[in-house]
Structure 1
């Protein structure tokens, strides 16, 4: 069955590969870009099955306009992909407030703007599938990416709650949680606040250096990730969580195994906080 997609952030990375694959498979795609020239080029290449739209997810009016234009051009939407985002790296103590606010504006409030614009349409149709591209960093935290982790943890929670709210209406939600893929995430798309405090150089600083050093050499294949998401939206009962990449699958399992053991070890303290039976 042909699907109609709305995908944010299609100039590079997962968005680009997913939009190209969906078009190649015969689906229809509305794709957002921040540059008019990129949007026009996408429209030209996509022909009758696609439209490029200009919308920065930080701009609420632009997002609403893009969603309305997508529905008008494609007739309806089946799949909405919250893909636009970036990684802010640096020690939590040292990342400037303005950068923290920008990270959350793009990674959290941006997807919220998209959701609020598309949900009336999906609720009316009583169908649809929302993909939130979060990260294994939305399930596990690492030194040097705490602000990014916070933004993705927030999107994870929004996705989980939304799934419970719209599931009875026939709308699916999946939080897609990639590990390291060969996109621009760790390169030109990222921002870096280098540690000035010596205490953080062996933790945050070292992990930031590791991330930079393997940029372009990550094991994850963006084309295979796109195929996984294309297949995902055709499942009758799609999952709420989909770690992408072996490191993401292992990382998620390790995280929840560790949490389970920790909770069980200290359950006597937690249980003791209630009024006596």
Structure 2
């Protein structure tokens, strides 16, 4: 028998969030589901009235993170697993996107996730247990034309979470970055995917990406229900990776990315080493 856990899942209205909420509830565990529209999870509330609690919030709004964290603690006493899943993207080249749009993507995908993580960390640290699942993307390790804002938010989440994992390891708190490829989550609909005002200059380089993303809904190869099983199992596994590519495309693309970047480091290694003072010994650092 595994120990029942209490989960806090953001973006639970669709996709990964709703699939994972249903999977966890079906295993007899408790969930606080953060959504903007409670009607999106009304079916699950009807089926699991005792173990599902809904926190209605737009995590970009002031006080929303505190509201969700307080709701979870007051309802179930503690959060064992945090899943930062809420997110959106705006497609556009660097010149097409306004700074305000860039900030909007970072606010939800990075700052809200970081703030909610910080809110649950003291309890996890004191109990010396807990798991933080950060829903990143293959776009959190590599990027594409038109996806700079989205990747910026996910790169930030990955860097922050990698440091977090090392900071929390002595306290028994685990962190995993999940890097999915294309899944049938609703991400490729106007609900989650915005479009910047286009410029003719970028039609050839960003246009195909924009068309591919906006036309992908319903034909993505990834199954959120299968992903939910993997993530629910992961939370109670004896060991977890820092990064988990999710989906065949993510495994292939990220593998190619790492190989390409390693080759680049080796190709330029001699020139790069020439920047040091001559005769200096190798650096000795704490990490």
Q: Within 5 A, what are the aligned runs for 1:89-128?
A: 89-128=91-130
* Mapping of residues 245-260 of structure 1, within 5 Å: 245-260=247-262
Is structure 2 residue 7 aligned with structure 1 residue 5? yes
Pairs within 5 Å for 1:216-227: 216-227=218-229
Q: Could you say which residue in structure 1 is the equivalent of 2:285?
A: none
Q: 1:193 aligns with which of 191, 196, 205?
A: 196
Matched-pair contact (CA < 8 Å) for 1:42–1:52: no
Note if contact 2:188-2:215 (Cα within 8 Å) is conserved in structure 1.
Answer: no
CA distance in 2, matches of 1:187, 1:34: 17
Structure 2 distance, partners of 1:52, 1:175, is 24
Q: Distance in 2 between matches of 1:116 and 1:42?
A: 28
Contact 2:14 2:40 in 1 (8 A): no
Unmatched segments (≥5 aa) in structure 1: none
> For the Cα contact (< 8 Å) 2:22–2:44, is it kept in 1?
no
Is the CA contact 2:140–2:151 (under 8 Å) kept in the aligned structure 1? Answer: yes
Partners of 2:213 and 2:146 in 1: CA distance? 10
Alignment counterpart, residue 211 of structure 2, candidates 203, 209, 223: 209
Which runs of structure 1 show a deviation greater than 6 angstroms over 4 or more consecutive aligned residues? Answer: none
Secondary structure of the corresponding residue to residue 48 of structure 1? coil
Q: How many residues align?
A: 276
Ranges in structure 2 where 5+ consecutive residues have no aligned partner: 280-287
Secondary structure in 1 matching 2:160:
helix
In angstroms, what is the RMSD of aligned CA positions? 1.4
Shift of 1:87: 1.2
Q: Which residue of 2 aligns with 1:230?
A: 232
User: Does the 8 Å contact 1:57/1:113 carry over to 2?
Assistant: no
TM (norm. structure 2) is: 0.92
